[in-house]
Every structure is written in structure tokens, then in C-alpha cells.
């Protein structure tokens, strides 16, 4: 079912157990008085697949689907956004089951304390909290994604609003092998040493590995030959991983 999504074994397993299966076999879950999580948050460094897997989940569930970016809710009227949030959830209720995906959630519901956040934001965050409360009972699956979980208002993060939080990290060794195979499978290639390439790409994100394979393919094309190990390793050396540097700081 996760066709095209490499790695993320834990996250996939938990989504299957807690979201996908309960929707396929509701009677069994009702017997145990279990329901789907109220809200799900994916957090972690850029380019590791948060948006990618959220969109894939929407396809698997076959729910109606709305993706909301921070700009979609901004309004020139001070309290306009509050109304937009209510409207959004009302529409989702009317079209349930519905998945609402809030990308870059930190920008939508920032911490309310501190001087940097204007007064009108507080009422928007309040509106969001009210709407989020037990919205799964109305058939709304809320999924959020963020790079900066620490900037999100803590009231949003408590169970009953967001029940499940997953850290999405750069791919491990096995996931890197899967990613390389996924990106290279349809391209002219020759004797790729998956093991060696995956070792070399430690700490790289999915987005970086995708970029590196594209570089390797371009290099091979220019020389009118198939992609080889050397192309991938060469591109990796020229593009060191951004995340590992951040960690060491």
C-alpha cells in the first residue's frame, strides 16, 4: 500500500495499526472502544518525507482531503482568519470522512505568550483549539507537519487535540538502500553497489538523496553511458549533508 514510500518502517506500521486498519475494520475497534487518533503531528528536519507521507496517507485512506498552508488562512482583516478556521472545519465535517493536512503548522498556531505574537493571533489559536477538540468524532482526521515543534502552542499538542506525535528523521541504512533503488530503478544503470552507496549517504535526507541521484543521472547522460557507483559517490562528495552539520553545531 505504501508504494513509492521508502523506509519509515515504524511510522508506516503505526499508521497502519492506528489509522488505516481501524477504518477498514471499524466493528472490531468499536468492540474495544478504540477510535482513530484525534490528531497526528509529524515533526523533524526538512526534506525527510513529512509532506510526502501525509499526502500518501490521504490517497490510501481515500478520504476527502484538504491541504492547508499558512498563507491560505491569512486575511487582511484582523479577525478574518478566525472565521476561515471555523469555515474550514465546518466544511470538513460536511464532507466527512475528511483529512485536513496542515503543513507548517508552527506558523499557524505559534505560542501565544511573548511580545512577538500579536493579540489577534491569540484568538486564532483559540479558535483552532476549539475546532481541534475531539474532531475525530466528527470524522475529521487532522494531520500536521512542522520543522519546529517547539514553536507550536503547547495547548495544541496535548492528547485530545493531537494524540500522536512522530519524529521523522533522515533515513537509516535500510531506508537509504530502498530510496536509492526507488530513484534509480527506471534509469539506465550498471552494477550499482547499493551497500557502499548507502554507507556513503549516512545523514543525508530523502530530498538530498533524490537530488544526488538526479546529479548522477545527469553526469551519466553527459557522458552518454549508464549510471555507475562513481556518479553517486561523486555527487555525494560535492553535496555534503546539511543536517549532520546542524547536529554538530
Ligand X SMILES: Nc1ncnc2c1ncn2[C@@H]1O[C@H](COP(=O)(O)OP(=O)(O)OP(=O)(O)O)[C@@H](O)[C@H]1O
In angstroms and rounded to an integer, the radius of gyration of the C-alpha atoms of the chain is: 21
- The stretch among 22-30, 48-56, 60-68, 159-167 that binds ligand X (CB under 6 A) is 48-56
Task: Answer yes or no: are the C-beta atoms of 135 and 35 closer than 8 Å.
Answer: no
Binding residue (CB under 6 A) for ligand X from 46, 154, 159, 160:
46
Binding residue (CB under 6 A) for ligand X from 37, 39, 49, 144:
49
Q: How many CB atoms lie within 10 A of CB 249?
A: 4
Told to check if 40 binds ligand X by CB under 6 A, we report no
Q: Please give the C-alpha separations between residue 176 and each of 5, 183, 187, 189, 206, in angstroms, as whole numbers.
A: 11, 11, 17, 17, 8
Angstrom distance (rounded) from CA 69 to CA 67: 7
Q: Least distance to Mg ion from the beta carbon of 146, Å?
A: 9
DSSP string, 78-142: TTHHHHHHHHHHHHHHHT-SEEEEEETHHHHSB-S-SSSS-HHHHHHHHHHHHHHTTGGGGTEEE
Q: Least distance to ligand X from the beta carbon of 46, Å?
A: 3
Phi, psi torsion values for 102, nearest 5 degrees: -100, 100
Out of Mg ion, ligand X, none, what residue 8 binds, judged by CB under 5 to 8 A for its kind, is ligand X
Q: Considering only residues 57 through 96, tell me which ones interact with ligand X, judged by CB under 6 A.
A: none
Closer residue to Mg ion (CB): 168 or 192: 168
Helices (H), the chain: 9-15, 21-24, 26-31, 50-61, 80-94, 105-108, 119-132, 173-184, 194-200, 206-222, 229-238, 242-248
What would you measure as the largest C-alpha separation in the chain, in angstroms? 63
Q: Least distance to ligand X from the beta carbon of 158, Å?
A: 23
Out of ligand X, Mg ion, none, what residue 147 binds, judged by CB under 5 to 8 A for its kind, is ligand X
- The stretch among 11-19, 48-56, 177-185, 194-202 that binds Mg ion (CB under 5 A) is 48-56
Binding residue (CB under 5 A) for Mg ion from 51, 95, 126, 203:
51
Q: Least distance to Mg ion from the beta carbon of 92, Å?
A: 21
Binding residue (CB under 6 A) for ligand X from 207, 234, 239, 242:
207
Q: Least distance to Mg ion from the beta carbon of 166, Å?
A: 14
Footprint on this chain of Mg ion (rule: CB under 5 A): 50-51
Footprint on this chain of ligand X (rule: CB under 6 A): 5-8, 46-52, 145, 147, 168, 179, 182, 206-207, 210
Amino acid at each position: 500500500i505504501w508504494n513509492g514510500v521508502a523506509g519509515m518502517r515504524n511510522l508506516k506500521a503505526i499508521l497502519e495499526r492506528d489509522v488505516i486498519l481501524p477504518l477498514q475494520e471499524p466493528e472490531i475497534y468499536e468492540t474495544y472502544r478504540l477510535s482513530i487518533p484525534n490528531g497526528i503531528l509529524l515533526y523533524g528536519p526538512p526534506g525527510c518525507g513529512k509532506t510526502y507521507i501525509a499526502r500518501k496517507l490521504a490517497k490510501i485512506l481515500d478520504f476527502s482531503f484538504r491541504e492547508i498552508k499558512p498563507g491560505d488562512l491569512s486575511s487582511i482583516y484582523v479577525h478574518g482568519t478566525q472565521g476561515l478556521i471555523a469555515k474550514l472545519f465546518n466544511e470538513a465535517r460536511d464532507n466527512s470522512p475528511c483529512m485536513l493536512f496542515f503543513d507548517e503548522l508552527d506558523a499557524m498556531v505559534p505560542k501565544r505568550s511573548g511580545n512577538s505574537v500579536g493579540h489577534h493571533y491569540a484568538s486564532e489559536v483559540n479558535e483552532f483549539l476549539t475546532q481541534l477538540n475531539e474532531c475525530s468524532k466528527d470524522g475529521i482526521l487532522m494531520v500536521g507537519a512542522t520543522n519546529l515543534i517547539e514553536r507550536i502552542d503547547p495547548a495544541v499538542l496535548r492528547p485530545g487535540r493531537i494524540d500522536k506525535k512522530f519524529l521523522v528523521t533522515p533515513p537509516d541504512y535500510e531506508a537509504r538502500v530502498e530510496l536509492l533503488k526507488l530513484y534509480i530503478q527506471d534509469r539506465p544503470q550498471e552494477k550499482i553497489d547499493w551497500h557502499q552507496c548507502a554507507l556513503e549517504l549516512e545523514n543525508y535526507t530523502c530530498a538530498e538523496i533524490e537530488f544526488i541521484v538526479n546529479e548522477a543521472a545527469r553526469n551519466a547522460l553527459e557522458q552518454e553511458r549508464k549510471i555507475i557507483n562513481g556518479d553517486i559517490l561523486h555527487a555525494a562528495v560535492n553535496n555534503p549533508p546539511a543536517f549532520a552539520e546542524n547536529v554538530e553545531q
